[in-house]
Amino acid sequence: MKGWRRRDLLAAGLALPVLALPAAARSTSSTGGPRVVIVGGGFGGATAARYLARWSPQLRISLIVGRERYWTCPFSNLVLIGERPLASLEVSHARLEAEGIEVLRRTAVDFDPHHRHLELEDGTQLAWERLVLAPGIEVMPEAIEGHGAGSVEQFPHAWQGGPATSHLARRLQAVPDGGLVAISVPEAPYRCPPGPYERASLFGWWLAQHRPRARLVILDANDRFTKDDLFQAHWQAAHGDQLQWIGRADGGSLRRVDPRRGSLHTDFDDWAPDLACVIPPQRAAAIARRAGLDEGRGWCAIDPLTFASRIHPEVHVIGDAAIANPMPKSAFAAASQARVCAAAIATALAGKAPPHALLTNTCYSLLTPETAIAVTGSYRATAQGIEPLPGTTGNSPADASDAERRAEAGHARGWYAAARADAFGD
């Protein structure tokens, strides 16, 4: 489908899926039941913990959230242009604790899938009946020649929320009028497929407001990207020649950086930008790879019906670390997968087959602080894989009015508030 309106979304049933669980999985019993350990306190992990606690209150649920404070990646691009404070993206896991979920602010370092133990950074061993991994991504700056952990501040990416977001915001503010900003995009897959292009749109908006003679170039290792027709139509209309996209076929792949000069080097060109936002290649976080769940591919194959690992079926992988094509690596998708995974675990521990469930995703992208576009899809899981439901996948209409683009931005803010409430209770 070429485009959809809000009523089409509702008709397609793209709300949060409601799963009908067997009564045994919903029954209340005393604490001290089987333990489910969840690694990762983002949208995927927190959603899985809350739904498991609701559907199987007899379980002991431990959520490992790490020592770092947690800021959401969604809406972080608004922080970069000063339209939202970083503090507004920070979430707490206090509500989950109040609901009886054990929240451990420590880092998980490894697990033994055979003896079913998870090791924490202090040497603590947690026994589990089921393990859910929602660890997110690991960025690989070293995959780019000349780049590495020591030069990330010089070539900031802020692809994981937090202080790095504030650092990149300061770097943008330091760009002189008449300067050059470059954003490099890695080859897919990576977290949040439309994220680099939303960032480019908002950077372009900010530059037009504050540095009207500045230019922006997108160096892309891909030739196509999600919502590309919509993004490019907006860039041409709003920024003309001051925003340039160079795809892979035209030499847009970043091959090398020079930290000493602050330069970027592609197949055909050398660039010396005032700000180089280099988004590195990515893979599943290390804890998912140490046990070989990725089979050396960087991302983890799963059973689409349960999100159980293809390597160790008692371990489930959801969110960015999982291979769940054609679903993208997004917060919306992670939460949808978390609910399906929670239902599968609840029913399996009750001796039942997993229920059929609807997987959904919507990715909103801001073009300006007040206008947006989106792509949506609904999916069914089969033993062979995840399949899009016919007639449910599409982009915002190309001919949408400014009022409709503004309404879409309102839908984006509404989704963010609802998703935070569902995952974190805040």
Give me the residue spans of the domains in the chain. 19-136+285-356, 139-278
- CA distances for 375 relative to 1, 91, 218, 229, angstroms: 11, 26, 21, 12
Range 91-120 average pLDDT: 96
| pLDDT at residue 17 tops 70 | no
**Cα 122 to Cα 115: distance, rounded to the nearest angstrom:** 19
pLDDT category at 32 given cuts 50, 70, 90 is low
Q: What amino acid occupies position 11?
A: A
Average pLDDT over residues 304-318: 97
Question: How does residue 356 score in pLDDT terms, banded at 50, 70 and 90?
Answer: confident
Torsion angle, CA of 401/406/409/410, rounded to 10 degrees?
A: -120
Spatial distance between the Cα atoms of 125 and 208, rounded to a whole number of angstroms: 54
Q: Grade residue 37 by pLDDT with cuts at 50, 70 and 90.
A: very high
CB atoms within 10 A of CB 97: 12
pLDDT at 357: 81
- Is residue 400 within 8 A of residue 3, CB to CB? The reply is yes
Whether 109 contacts 103, CB under 8 Å? no
Q: What is the pLDDT of residue 181?
A: 98
Burial of 119 (0-12, 13-18, 19+ CB in 10 A): middle
- In CATH, the architecture of 139-278 is 3-Layer(bba) Sandwich (3.50)
Q: Which two tokens stand for residue 182?
A: 């470059």
Residue 25 has pLDDT above 90, yes or no: no
Is the pLDDT at 281 greater than 80, yes or no? Answer: yes
Residue-level pLDDT at 161: 87
Please, which residues have CB within 8 angstroms of residue 18's CB and are 6 or more apart in sequence? none
Q: How confident is the model at residue 383 (pLDDT cuts 50, 70, 90)?
A: confident
Q: Is the pLDDT at 344 greater than 80, yes or no?
A: yes
Same fold, 19-136+285-356 and 139-278: yes
Q: Across all residues in the chain, what is the average pLDDT?
A: 92
| pLDDT at residue 95, rounded to an integer | 96
What pLDDT is recorded for position 296? 95
Residue 358 pLDDT: 87
> CA 172, 173, 174 angle in degrees (round to 5)?
90
DSSP-H helix ranges across 27-99: 43-55, 76-80, 94-98
* Rounded distance between C-alpha atoms, residue 167 and residue 159, angstroms: 12
- Confidence class of residue 11 from pLDDT cuts 50, 70 and 90? very low
The percent of residues above 90 in pLDDT, for the chain, comes to: 89
Rounded to two decimals, what is the model's pTM? 0.92
Q: What is the pLDDT of residue 15?
A: 42
Residue 140 has pLDDT above 80, yes or no: yes
Number of CB atoms found within 10 A of residue 408's CB: 21
Question: What is the CATH number assigned to the segment(s) 19-136+285-356?
Answer: 3.50.50.60
